[in-house]
Structure 1
């Protein structure tokens, strides 16, 4: 008889919804149905059951043909590749658990590698800004229970975080927000008319790349000082209306995404967004929070932080941790030809990096650790399949508000399939043998 597992955590996005129910077969090997998840979260669970899923390691020979190899061979190739490299890049880490991240960092320290996560191409600028000026933030629980003014700046949660608005930010009825969305005002700042923007009380259709100017104008308007007729394509009256709307709220939360972090001014956009949040705290309660993408990219920054003191692009090639965004970040290293091996886990740079970086990966000794085929597989020399974290393996993950949540195992992985942590543990043991470390 089928059974239902409740309180399952969704391993898709940084919202980490923890109210899923998964119906599994009585032998615990097959997922039959998924309840409460969004369409993307549901697909993540069901995709783990794909019939064409890779279950054995595959290695590319000199002619470019793929051949099956044993797990022992995959461990040996990975360990030798990392030990023989002078400066290996170990990239990804955002779609796995904190336990595996910690194990991978230990390997990186032994081989003198560079550890970088997907923040390098999304919210790395946020992390730099937080280091510059700090951050007045809160938890998603506080948003649900207290916030009555919500700003979505440069993000589209209707598509990227499908249950964010229904669970935390707009629609739920919290302890002090008993009327749900009827008691909230929603402002969206986006150059496009997105599905999120269409739901807003006010859509500020900003000119592309002029976020810094509009944020500055809002700071001016909040203080009641005069403004020019238009700023970043937004009329003065609209800016003043938004400023008054935010000041009149009991609890303001600004959520921002890659439309801010990767537009002109980069981390300085976030600096001034945080300054705007602090200004609002002179009139009401205000907080700001990044909309993190991968379900455990926040955890990757946390683990790197407590192991090495820095949240991404950590260079260990000299035997101690160095951090210099723009120098020790993945794309900069690849494009300058400064790394001689690439290890990818929990990400897909083959699909998201510039073609110049992808070409460099294709030319180097490389390993891709991933449950299924990805564009990165095509440019790597070895593909090591592993269990799905959050589906076939549990472990700790950090929600976008930096709250740690324990993910749950709901089904067994295919027979003989290692988890990320188990594979990294075996690689670590072999690296220690090669390096002669006790």
Structure 2
């Protein structure tokens, strides 16, 4: 028997596409429509690649254990740790993230999300100068000029162009595709650059210089600009500035190509101020291209609970926030953490070697349905249900809109919310009885 389930939320990236059609045959996913290649793989490869149950490293070998044994171990390790690190949180639901933040406070640990290695600089800049943003729906229906800066959107967020920008139908346009202009700024000619109206190729680390030059041109101070700025001819900068100034409604989307290069959050501050300059003449907004399905949610939840969006240290008994000191990479590089809980992320594939080596030396508990690079570093891995497939919960789209994901199949795996709640309750009882 074949069933078709419509309007499923894709749990892969920050676009959270809500028009996915899933074909089910015999209780298994047999087909996916409307999803991009990355999203389809998330659904189709799901069941075959999952761990069957918790696994624990004993004597250099992996052994299968029960969920009860896994929870016992997690409670013991986290309750006895002096400086535990709770990291990840970008692939789980906000309900789980809230428990994680409260758990960090309970045990005096550090709670940090993948934000600290991707769009942390974006948040630092927004804290300084604000965020002239809007929903993706506004961009889809109103924007006639789009900038993708340091973001290879076609490969990283394949449906962003078709749902919200270049290829999307718009309420206020007769022929949106022909009326829109797309500007791509990057250090190399990416696949996204192939579809650009104007491609601006800059030198590595030249983002701040180019943004400053564009701001000067918008302010009618183009005379101070040299003939070449970070590999970009002055004539092209003037042309790009004029395209931006003539836009009726523009949107700048930026990726980690600008947040994780020289200048870091100062690049983003300059980009926001560039948008502010344009808003003297017309209407522009700016938004980060958030990668994971619910990394934005972690920032929201941690801010509600602690007042800070990521890298929150509770070791003083109060929330303390100082990126560069309390972020996961810094904690691990200084070898401060004596235990780690990794939730729905893969630091083993992305962290510096010194951090991965330290994770391998300490008790590391990984919550992830699938084997990953971090599996080889951890002491215990606990597979859970996947938000948007066999678990339901709240996730935040990259523009800050909360969306309820659906559970459309039953696999028997417990949700990470349920397991984290049990860990929290048991550690709280241990603390109260002590």
Tell me, yes or no, whether TM beats 0.5.
yes
Counterpart-to-counterpart distance in 2, 1:92 and 1:55: 22
**Cα separation, 1, equivalents of 2:51 and 2:70:** 14
Choose from 387, 404, 424 the match for 1:428.
Answer: 424
Q: 1:318 aligns with which of 313, 316, 319?
A: 316
Tell me by how many angstroms 1:380 deviates.
0.4
- 1:136 is matched with which residue? 132
Q: Where in structure 1 are there 5+ consecutive unaligned residues?
A: none
2:175 corresponds to 1:161: no
SS at match of 1:49: helix
SS at match of 1:181: helix
1:118 aligned partner: 114
Structure 2 unmatched ranges of 5 or more: none
SS of 1:102's equivalent? helix
Partner of residue 301, structure 1:
299
CA distance in 2 between counterparts of 1:245 and 1:152 reads 14
Please give the secondary structure, in 2, of the residue aligned with 1:107: helix
TM-score where L is the length of structure 1: 0.97
Does residue 352 of structure 2 align to residue 354 of structure 1?
yes
For residues 432 and 174 of structure 2, what CA distance do their matches in structure 1 show? Answer: 62
Alignment of 1:401-416 (within 5 A): 401-413=399-411, 415=412
Q: In 2, Cα distance between the equivalents of 1:104 and 1:224?
A: 50
| 2:270 matches 1:272 | yes
Paired position in structure 1 for 2:192: 196
Backbone CA RMSD of aligned residues: 1.1
How many residues end up aligned between the 2 structures? Answer: 432
In 2, distance between residues paired with 1:96 and 1:437? 31
> 2:259 aligned to 258, 261, 264, which one?
261
Which residue of the partner structure matches residue 148 of structure 2? 152
CA distance in 1, matches of 2:419, 2:327: 25
Runs (4+) of structure 1 exceeding 4 A deviation are: none
Q: Which residue of 1 aligns with 2:219?
A: 223
Supply the distance in 1 between the matched residues of 2:103 and 2:324 (Cα, whole angstroms). 24
C-alpha separation in 1, matches of 2:329 and 2:247: 42
Counterpart contact for 1:22–1:410, Cα < 8 Å = no
1:103 aligned to which of 94, 99, 104:
99
Match of 1:66 in 2: 62
**2:207 is the counterpart of 1:211:** yes
Match of 1:16 in 2: 16
In the alignment, what sits opposite 1:399?
A: 397
Q: C-alpha separation between the residues in 2 aligned to 1:193 and 1:40?
A: 22
Q: Which residue of 1 aligns with 2:343?
A: 345
| TM-score, L = length of structure 2 | 0.98
2-structure distance, mates of 1:304, 1:2: 41
In the other structure, the counterpart of 1:53 is 50
Which whole-Å CA distance do the structure 2 matches of 1:305 and 1:56 have between them? Answer: 33
Q: Choose the corresponding residue for 1:250, options 244, 248, 251.
A: 248
CA distance in 2 between counterparts of 1:53 and 1:213 reads 46
Could you report, residue by residue, the CA deviation over 1:53-74 in whole angstroms, capped at 9, with x for unpaired residues?
A: 212111111x211111111110
Pick from 373, 377, 386: which aligns with 2:371?
373
